[in-house]
Amino acid sequence: MPSILHINASPRYSNSDSLRLARHFIDSVQAAAPETFELETVNLFDDGALPAFGRIAASAKMAVFTGQDQTPEQVAAWESARAVFDQFAAADAYVFNIPMWNSGVPYVLKQWIDIITQPGWSFGFDPQQGYRGLMEGKHALAVHTSGVYAPGVPAAFGSDFSSTYFADWLNFVGIEDATHVRFAPTVLNGDVDGTRQFAETELSDAALLFTGKLSATGKQQLVTD
């Protein structure tokens, strides 16, 4: 059964523009699907959604890469991180909704990225060839929102290190088939409804392509979490 992992990086839930658009896209995929798909949503701001990746986990990582034995504490931390990666790796496609925070991504999304972006898991490294993403064959759709910033505004209205960073990360781990849709600005906007409708149209169009790619896997049936 083809599977979609939806990563919600907004804590605003029903008040979130990015989440509303992500759900519009998912609904469009389901409406266009000749077959159904498994859908799992991870709300990164929920308590317990992510394990800590601090001193113990970092020590566990270094133990793995230097061939040393891990302590029981380190084993537990490394297994917790691996569970997050396994959930990521098991999906055929991804939907991300990402509000811009202080020109960058929300900290919980960066935490999620730092947990799963490990050598031998999501990327490899060769001293002659450099880095190589290991997540080939996956598809991604990212919704980006910002309250004041929009492409083309003067520097005094903000900068975008969010969508650029995230697009670079997708490419780094090997997810080259990625579509990015922006709804901005959501606040400093004389026609916010028109801008939202334009984004929804983009997402509906993208859903048709997304559905075709998933259908090519030859699997079937949608179960939502």
Q: At 225, is the pLDDT very low, low, confident or very high (cuts 50, 70, 90)? A: very low
Are the CB atoms for 82 and 111 separated by under 8 Å?
no
Burial profile 57-88: b = 16 or more Cβ within 10 angstroms, e = fewer: bebbbebeeeeeebeeebeebbebbbebeeeb
Is pLDDT at 33 greater than 70 in this prediction?
yes
Mean pLDDT throughout 57-62? 94
| pLDDT score at 219 | 45
Is pLDDT at 224 greater than 60 in this prediction?
no
pLDDT digits (tens, 9 = 90+) for 201-213: 999 999 999 999 8
Share of the chain above pLDDT 90, in %: 88
| pLDDT score at 35 | 72
pLDDT digits (tens, 9 = 90+) for 84-121: 999 999 999 999 999 999 999 999 999 999 999 999 99
**Closest to 117 in 3D by CA, of 69, 171, 47, 55:** 171
Is pLDDT at 191 greater than 70 in this prediction?
yes
Mean pLDDT throughout 139-164? 97
Share of the chain above pLDDT 70, in %: 96
Is pLDDT at 220 greater than 70 in this prediction?
no
What is the C-alpha separation between 15 and 96, in angstroms, rounded? 17
